[in-house]
Amino acid sequence: MPSDVERWKEEVYGVEIRDHLERFAEEGWDAIPDDEHDEWFERFKWWGLYHQRKGQESYFMMRIGTPNGVLEPGQMRVVGEIADEYARGPASNPEFGETWADFTTRQSIQLHWIKVEDVPDIFDKLDDAGLSTMQACGDSWRNIVGCPVAGKDKNEVVDALDVTLDLHDAFKGNEEHTNLPRKWKVSVTGCREGCGQGDINDLAFEPATKEIDGETVEGFNVRVGGGLARKEPRFARNVDVFVRPDRVGPVAGAISALFRDYGDRDNRFNARIKFLVDEWGPEKVRRVLQEEYVDWELETAGDDLRSEYTYNAGTHGGHADHVGVHEQNDGNYYVGLDVLVGRMGVDDVIELADVADEYGSGEIRLTQRQNAIITDVPEEDLDALLDEPLLEDYSPDPHPFMRGSIACTGTEFCSLSIVETKNRQVRYGRWLRDNVDVPDGVQDFHIHLSGCTASCAQPQIADVSLRGMKTRKDGEPVEAFDIGLGGGLGENPEFADWVAMRVPADEVPGAIANLLSTFEERREGDETFRDFCRRRDEDELAELVEPEETSYEDPFMHNTKMTWYPYAEDDDLDASPAPTRADGTPAGSD
């Protein structure tokens, strides 16, 4: 039987949802009929609006999809201005203040505390700036990701940016593909380093070359069915197809249509294409694609460049991320800034836009490691840029523990979360920086923290993986983490082994400190942490993790899920002002 969600999508879905949003905005929060909340909130996701968690009713998270993470000159300022005017809630965050922008692991931007009444104004401002929230959430083509310096990279084989932007134009608002069984995450990589993270996407295009009619053609190999969510992580599987850059659109459309028609619409937990690939195997995916969805002969896969991948590959050197000063293919430079846990206060967002204008072209790019890049800086302006005060807080040369930290949204706003995430990761990062020696030669150490198994922070592909859990400590239930080790991408990607379970959150920094000192002691020569983990089986890895209380203090041990906002003075659910009207007064009061 089709799920409720499928029934609602059948009735109203896609572009037309915007008309309804505008109507509700006009009439106010109370105009959304009580018995239609579920269906409308499900639909709003398609336009990038996600109803925040319990205690925060009537407030929405808004996601702006920036393809390949590219913000054209002027766009970041508009994001900052919108955040400043509209993304303010009834409480403030002790680390980040009243309003900010979140840069996400899929190169998008999230704002919080958005009121439905403000949505039309925000959409107008976004439209004017060439930005959009369309399909940012919901069952459709999500923001397309890729190497964040595509088109500017010295190591690019195929210019992937044009391919990505063409896909974006072709599949945003495209009625044939607006209603898929589930989210549809696409990645396009054109560089030699593998920065597109194709392996963890539903559909990945990866650089390859192929001999066709005696000629070497550059293009892409296709992989299908990656994803990290739940306890069912999969790497995308090779379906043995090569495409030329000008054929990417038709092939992507064909695979998306295959998913639309064959994906499981009865059970949302089984709907992602990774499960269809499990069931069919890559050979059948290719066969059905060829027989039913394309009217030309598909090429078999070409020679890929995976053996050269260095991005998050746990090797020495190469491109572990995009932080730092790097030369572009045109002789200018890009400067990657470390944005701890991807969150930037609103004044800094606007300052970032100003600095990018002053020293670069004004363009800013977002990475899949929640960082920001200022592009197109002439060599002679580099020193002055590096002296800017903004770069003290968002450093191009950050401490390895700060550099490698990623965290998802967590109990602050997210319904699924088991634990507090971003503020905690900020505290972890600081404590590690101040108390733990960085092992020799380590420039970045990837610690990815996710509040639940949905894995938005991509925990399974980190050196140290943290996944929200609970445990009992001194008899009381407290927030905790499962700890995984040794995950990463590269030629042969690996998911972390989950080796220490239910470690109380206040003992995690001690566990990492002990782990790193053992690593330093026992590593062979200058072997990397990933290699060190690879040489050990799960039991041996488990022995390396010794949780311990330290001078680290955790203010979020209690059940942050049961608050209306974890940092509010009175955080009790009953103290929540939500739902509120447009002006912030409680709805239902007179």
Partner 1 sequence: MTVSIRQFDDGAWIHVADSRAVGAGEVRRVTDHDFCPCTVGHVLVEAFVDVGVAGHDVRARVAGQCIDCGTDGVLDWLTFGRVDGGTFRPVSTDAVQQVG
Residues at the interface with partner 1 (CB under 8 A): 4, 34-38, 42, 53-54, 230-231, 268-269, 411, 415-418, 452-454, 469-472, 477, 480, 501-502, 559, 561
Contact letters for ligand HEM, residues 109-148 (x by CB under 6 A): -x--------------------------------------
Report the alpha-carbon distance of residue 146 to residue 134 in Å, rounded: 19
Q: DSSP alpha helices (H): ranges in 479-528?
A: 508-522
DSSP one-letter string for 68-118: GGEE-TTHHHHHHHHHHHH---SS-BTTTBS-EEEEPTTS-EEEEEEEGGG
CA distance 221 to 420: 39
Tell me, residue by residue from 49 to 88, as one string, x for binding to ligand HEM by CB under 6 A and - for no binding: -x----------x---------------------------
Q: Which is nearer to ligand SF4, 382 or 454 (CB)?
A: 454
Q: What residues are paired with 139 via a beta bridge?
A: none
Q: Phi, psi (5° rounding) for residue 464?
A: -120, 125
Taking CA atoms, 8 is separated from 46, 419, 479, in Å, by: 12, 31, 36
Give me the least distance between CB of 359 and ligand HEM, in Å please: 28
Using the rule CB under 6 A, which residue among 225, 362, 398, 410 binds ligand SF4? 410
Which does residue 410 bind out of ligand HEM, ligand SF4, partner 1, none, counting CB within 5 to 8 angstroms by kind? ligand SF4
Cβ at position 138, least distance to partner 1 in Å = 12
- CA dist., res. 521 & res. 518, Å (int): 5
User: Toward ligand SF4, which CB reaches closer, 338 or 479?
Assistant: 479
CB 446 within 8 A of CB 459: no
- Work out the widest C-alpha separation in the chain, in whole angstroms: 78
The window from 104-112, 164-172, 321-329, 536-544 that contacts ligand HEM (CB under 6 A) reads 104-112
What residues from 436 to 455 belong to the interface with ligand SF4 (CB under 6 A)? 450-452, 454-455
DSSP 8-state secondary structure symbol assigned to residue 299: B
What is the footprint of ligand SF4 within residues 455-474 (CB under 6 A)?
A: 455-456
Judged by CB, which is closer to ligand SF4: 457, or 513?
457
Cβ closest to ligand SF4, residue 312 vs residue 450: 450
User: 586 Cβ partners below 8 Å, 6+ apart?
Assistant: 577, 578, 579, 580
Stretch that binds ligand HEM, among 355-363, 413-421, 498-506, 515-523 (CB under 6 A): 413-421
With binding defined as CB under 6 A, does residue 455 bind ligand HEM? yes
Judged by CB under 6 A, the residue of 9, 77, 106, 403 near ligand HEM is: 106
Supply the minimum distance, in Å, between the C-beta of residue 468 and ligand SF4. Answer: 6
Q: Please report which helix (H) or strand (E) contains residue 448, including its range.
A: strand 447-450
Q: Smallest distance, Å, CB 435 to partner 1?
A: 28
Residue 227, interface with ligand HEM (CB under 6 A)?
A: yes
Separation between Cα atoms, residue 392 and residue 410, nearest integer Å: 27
Answer whether 224's CB lies under 8 Å from 202's CB: yes
Question: Minimum distance between the CB of residue 264 and ligand HEM, rounded to whole angstroms?
Answer: 13
